[in-house]
Structure 1
Amino acid sequence: MVKNLLRGSFKLMKSMNRSLILNIIREKGPISRAEIAKLTKLTPPTVSSLVKELLQAEIVIERNLGESSGGRKPTLLTLNSKMFHVIGMDIGSQNIKTILTTITGSIIKHSIVPLPAESTRETLLSAIIQSVQSILDDTEIDEEKIVGIGVGMHGIVDANQGISVFAPNLHLHNIPIKEVLEEKFNMIVKVENDGRAMSLGELWFGNGAGIDSFVCINVGRGIGAGIIMNGKLYHGSHFISGEIGHMVIDIDGPKCTCGNYGCLQTFASGPAIVDRVKKEMRLGQSSLLSQLTEGNLDNVTGELIYKAALDGDSLCRTALQQAGRYMGVGLTNLIHTVNPRRIIIGGGVSNAGDLIMESITQTVKQRALTQPAKETEIILSKFGDDATAMGAVALILAELFTSRNTETASAL
């Protein structure tokens, strides 16, 4: 019965004018009914009627009285963040990061489940289910109050079907993530490429808010991008938009996990940086990493490279700067193709901060065609390592709060 209530609440939220009102409350709340009517151009009786339904469903709650312009003080409305929650997942090539948030995007729980060294479709799906179950078991929140599960997955994703078409870092094809999760947990499930999910998260919660044209770059074990055009997520004709990591920048370069040679991610991803440092150390280059790893090169990680670079290690600083230059080349190509107002960089490699960002921005300034292009704003993600997981949460919130046809929302 509670499940039916949840599905009924979801349906209630998804109707056109209710979605419009909910999004206004999400963005502007606490807010009065009169102000909602003004912003939505709906009639006051229509707003009152719809708000009454949302209050009865406990999706919206009333808060303290607002300022009066003469007469009775207005009652203000806000989302009931304690009523509904969302699960967001970031499926990488080594682990699955899962977060539980309120419908306003506040993180309540956080977990990481490692993936097997050699994942198959079955072991990956099992790990995904385990990740969701683990976070459900570790919270006092009723499962019935969780609206849905958003999933950010690296590689090629058919967002309409919720299928991972090709996960190059795992060498897996056609993984039915949406179907399996919906059957197991009886919740709404949305699946998206990690870079595109990240861009949606920045649009909703982060450094893309209020920007109608920007690109998010997710730099970790791979490199992906999400493109926002005119305030909307761009997928392309075959769901491969934003695969900037597989932009070839050296046809004679190293072999990539996708099978091609010289892709950007073979030069600027986390594993590429680690491989470059280990190669130089094998050739006799001295480094603080020898002490940090007790002479075992197999223990070199991106985190240790960053630590050594902060301590002044020239090899590690040079490796990060070189990765930044390659990223700068890739971003220059992107600027010449898409011409976004802003580029937002997240993922594990972004934790290197200025050690990599300075090289990126310098390279763009050297290579971009025009002065405005050279000055394209390039900033770090608001969420760091959680950028994709937060984007996955935004997939569900976009489903809840965004009307499919808001242009005609004022007709009723």
Structure 2
Amino acid sequence: MKFYLILDIGGTKTSGALFTQDGKIVDDYVHVAPSKTFLGEEAVYENTKDVLLHIIDHFSVKKEDIMGIGVGSPGPLDAEKGIIIHAPLMGWHDFPIVQRLEADFGTKVMLDNDGNLGALAEVRMGVAKGLQNVLYMTVSTGCGGGIVVNGEVYRGSSCGAGEVGHMSIMPEGLKCPCGSVGCFELYASGTAINNRIRDDLQKGIQSKVFDMASHNPKKLNGKLLNEAATLGDAYALDVYRKEGYYLGVGIANQFNFFNPDTIVLGGGVTKAKQFFHETLMETLKERCIQPIDDSSVRYSIMNDRVVLYGAYCMIKEYTDKNYRDRSV
């Protein structure tokens, strides 16, 4: 029996899984390990490699039974050259991860940006399956994205397409570490929400969420905000209305530019969608020049495995095409 090894490299954790040829995670088992950031490029690479070795050992799989390895990683990167251009947390600069993994595992390795792979997974296997023009956005620590045009991932001229988090929605807004101002993720990401509620705590605003955190800013997080909103707390509900508005502004810009079939939203913030979806849709309808309906915004059901599924689709499609080309 043949398998695919799949890897999702993140700034805090790295996940690995073994996929069957028909796209199932073997035994529904995903191995997750800390990414060992800031320990230097070799230490981080060895840790990354160990995640794959753990999967091989766990299932007693022979290397010759591995048809290929699919890798998802934050950018910027060069998917064609298999190089991670810049990953400060990892200490990687122009790091040839594909070449290194192919040498260590003796099989074909493919690499792409995690946002691109999220988009690919949703179009091939997820809530946008079968659609041709799709936007994908993860709303989490930041706001990342991917674009599918005519059924294929669109990467741009230098593999940098889909950086929706750094689209400016406030020209005179907050300064972003990227060098711009008013970036989308400064207002709509999970980090933005946390910063907002911590600032409000210092202002003396009253809310159940602050009581739950014992008025300690270090204990404030999205989980407590969600709990307070569930209890009907007026402040928490207002925070989510603002989130819906900011998401709507940024997503409307994307809709007006790309005119997609749909946008799929994923990431931790979407767990609270029941509190912001209505405002999001109202904002979209106000700002989009094309008609918007309930199918225009969809929510991922793959959650934190979406990059794994996308990396599987990437390597699977490559090996299938390669096999067909050899058979002609």
Assess same fold via TM > 0.5.
Answer: yes
1:102 corresponds to: 20
**Is the contact made by 1:194 and 1:218 (CA closer than 8 Å) also made in structure 2?**
no
Query: Whole-Å Cα distance in 2 between the matches of residues 136 and 167 of structure 1?
Result: 26
Q: Flag the 1:235–1:121 CA change in 2: closer, same or farther, 3 A.
A: same
1:91 corresponds to: 9
Largest Rg, 1 or 2: 1
- For residue 316 of structure 1, what is the amino acid of its counterpart? A
**Is the contact made by 2:136 and 2:146 (CA closer than 8 Å) also made in structure 1?**
yes
- Compute the TM-score of the two structures, normalised by the length of structure 1: 0.72
Q: Counterparts in 2 of 1:135-154, with a 5 A limit?
A: 135-154=55-74
Q: Deviations over 1:102-145 (max 9, x none)?
A: 12221222122223464643343233223222333333444432
Kindly state the Cα deviation for residue 242 of structure 1 after the two structures are TM-superposed.
0.8
**Is the contact made by 1:93 and 1:221 (CA closer than 8 Å) also made in structure 2?**
no
Q: Structure 2 unaligned segments of length 5 or more: list them.
A: none
1:279 pairs with 2:199: yes
Q: Deviations over 1:43-101 (max 9, x none)?
A: xxxxxxxxxxxxxxxxxxxxxxxxxxxxxxxxxxxxxxxx2222322222222232322
Query: Whole-Å Cα distance in 2 between the matches of residues 166 and 280 of structure 1?
Result: 35
**Is the contact made by 2:38 and 2:91 (CA closer than 8 Å) also made in structure 1?**
no
- For residue 141 of structure 2, what is the amino acid of its counterpart? R
- For residue 106 of structure 1, what is the amino acid of its counterpart? K
SS in 1 for 2:59: coil
2:172 corresponds to: 252
- For residue 130 of structure 2, what is the amino acid of its counterpart? G
- For residue 129 of structure 1, what is the amino acid of its counterpart? K
- Compute the TM-score of the two structures, normalised by the length of structure 2: 0.88
1:227 corresponds to: 147
Deviation larger for 298-307 or 341-350: 298-307
2:103 corresponds to: 183
**Is the contact made by 1:248 and 1:261 (CA closer than 8 Å) also made in structure 2?**
yes
Q: Counterparts in 2 of 1:94-243, with a 5 A limit?
A: 94-108=12-26, 109-116=29-36, 118=38, 120-167=40-87, 173-243=93-163
- For residue 132 of structure 1, what is the amino acid of its counterpart? L
- For residue 16 of structure 2, what is the amino acid of its counterpart? T
Query: Whole-Å Cα distance in 2 between the matches of residues 85 and 161 of structure 1?
Result: 24
SS in 2 for 1:148: strand
Kindly state the Cα deviation for residue 155 of structure 1 after the two structures are TM-superposed.
2.5
Q: Structure 1 unaligned segments of length 5 or more: list them.
A: 1-82
**Is the contact made by 2:266 and 2:299 (CA closer than 8 Å) also made in structure 1?**
yes
Query: Whole-Å Cα distance in 2 between the matches of residues 126 and 307 of structure 1?
Result: 40
Identity percentage over the alignment?
A: 31
Deviation larger for 91-100 or 219-228: 91-100
Q: Deviations over 1:378-409 (max 9, x none)?
A: 10113122112211111111112246998xx9
**Is the contact made by 2:167 and 2:184 (CA closer than 8 Å) also made in structure 1?**
yes
1:398 corresponds to: 317
Query: Whole-Å Cα distance in 2 between the matches of residues 304 and 218 of structure 1?
Result: 21
**Is the contact made by 2:83 and 2:94 (CA closer than 8 Å) also made in structure 1?**
yes
Q: Deviations over 1:277-325 (max 9, x none)?
A: 1111122223333454444322333333323322333333332332222
